[in-house]
Amino acid sequence: MLQNLYKYCQNTYLFAFLGCIAVLPMSDTIALRNIFLVLMLLLLISANVFSKNIRFETISAAKLMPLPLILWMIYLCMFPIWAPRQDVAWENFFGQWGESIIAWIVGFGAFIILSKRGPSLFAIGLASAFPLIVHLLLSTLAFMGFLSENFYRQRSLTGLYDEMTAWSHGDFTLMNFHNPLVEGFNGIEVMHGNLGYASTLAIIIFTTTWYSAFKKNKLNLSAISAVAIICCFVSLFIIRSRGAILFGFLFLIITLMLNLYKNKSGQVVKPNGVTMKAFRRKLRVLVLLGIVTVLAIGYKSVESDYRWHSMVDKIIAAVQIEDPLETLCNGLSVTDEIRIRNSIKGESQEYIDDVIFGLKRQDGGRILLMRVGIDFVLENPFGLDGSRQSYKQLIMDKCGHIPLLTFAHTHQSWMDLSLALGWAGAILFALIFLNFLAFGVQELGDSENIDLLIVLIAMSLFWLVRGLFDSLYREHYLEMQAIILSYLYLRYLRLQQAER
């Protein structure tokens, strides 16, 4: 009876864990992701209450928690006490920061409850890629003309539900044909970053499972992983997320290098009934086809996305602005605009106007934010209120009015984190990723669990570096970082201990 109950608990935890990873990056799923988090927390608490073995495992896992992570959690609990805006700080502690602490706990809890029955890397990869699967399916429907104008007006999970309701009543108009590769298409996502970050995590995992399966002669898994990587890039080209595309390729290369470096002494298993030469030839053909497919789709996407063409000039123009704070508060001055227009006067009028617009909303605007953000960070060493609106509040105070060029945040995670929680908060958070990196590099060696370590290193590096170029240390992104990294870390440690 108790054994059956524990198996039910394990199965429920496994479903909630993978389900949470799947929906965390998706818009309009706040309630569902919170249900998954609370369910896992309750299961973990209940298991500790009724099982002596689980209590022992939990105590053992707690002893393995990295010191920077423990200090980070303590800091989050104490920050509202001295925050300049305490009411907002407490609100955010019981919101995004408290939820991130729970995500770390249930990530560790996944291995405590599931032990060796925990999800494989491939299963976590599929869960991470779930938003991309939904996006590609919707892109296919858009290309076929199944999506109505009502969906394009809403572009949300609610809109998709309304669309499916209409389909159930036989309402297929097939009149709204769209080419996602040419026109771009975000599916149900308002922010393409939701798909972009999930795609890079999936690429890291599938690259590792592809290489590992190739070494172990698991041809089906190797082929599926390769196709999954291609699908990730196709999705990125459709949503036109330049940062996600660049980081996707960068971490594909980094993950491959880690695999090649640490597995170079391993032996490829010879397939039954197939010569080694034929086996390698099939793999090379599959990889070559994948590369050609990604490059062809990428070329088509980049060709139709004008933002790639003027990106460098937008950045240069933003650097040339003499007073970035004044520009953000009151708009681009006549003097600055004339100087910028003269610097690129050889280009078409449409191109010049696009560069000027880029200072207000795109790449140029982000450079202005970065320049002003540095000053704000130096002026506010103790942070403000722990919220994502810290920059917005500070810029309004500086301008004395709502700035003409309005941005919700600095688009730079480390600046946003420092403005929200102070220098100490940003340093402690950085130490978490650096600790996982140092641990991974130190542990690299011959092991049956080397794949877990490679993914841990690559993901830690990704979250650490990606924060330099976008705002992602907040809300559900914090939970994405916590739940997977904590599980990988504890799973590797406990499996290594079992080997010894």
Across the range 435-451, mean pLDDT stands at: 87
pLDDT at 45: 96
Cα separation, 35 vs 41, whole angstroms: 10
Give residue 443's identity as a one-letter amino acid code: E
In this prediction, residues 25-29 reach a mean pLDDT of 91
Comparing 13-22, 135-144, 274-283, 453-462, which segment has the lowest mean pLDDT? 274-283
Is 90 exceeded by the pLDDT of residue 82? yes
Give dist(CA 429, CA 431) in Å, integer: 5
CA gap 387, 83 in Å, rounded: 11
**Torsion sign across C-alpha atoms 216, 219, 223, 225:** negative
Burial class (CB in 10 A: 0-12, 13-18, 19+), 249: middle
Cα 196 to Cα 473: distance, rounded to the nearest angstrom: 15
DSSP letter (8 states) at residue 387? S
CA dist 240 and 144 (Å) reads: 20
Percentage of the chain surpassing pLDDT 70?
A: 90
Can you give the pLDDT at residue 365? 86
Would you call 235 exposed, middle or buried from its count of C-beta atoms within 10 A (0-12, 13-18, 19+)?
buried
pLDDT, averaged across the chain: 87
Residues 172-177 have a mean pLDDT of 67
* Per-residue pLDDT, 303: 63
Round to whole Å and give the CA distance between 164 and 157: 11
Region 40-67 average pLDDT: 94
Top mean-pLDDT range of 118-127, 278-287, 343-352, 465-474: 118-127
Per-residue model confidence as pLDDT tens digits over 453-495: 999 999 999 999 999 988 888 889 999 999 999 999 999 998 8
Close Cβ partners of 230 (under 8 Å, ≥ 6 residues apart): 290, 293, 294
pLDDT at 271: 46
Measured distance CA(131)–CA(191) in Å, rounded: 13
Does 342 have pLDDT greater than 70?
Answer: yes
User: Could you tell me if 407 and 369 are in contact, meaning their C-beta atoms sit under 8 angstroms apart?
Assistant: yes
DSSP-assigned states of every residue in 396-437? HHHHSS--SS--SS-S-HHHHHHHHHHHHHHHHHHHHHHHHH
8-state DSSP, 94:
I
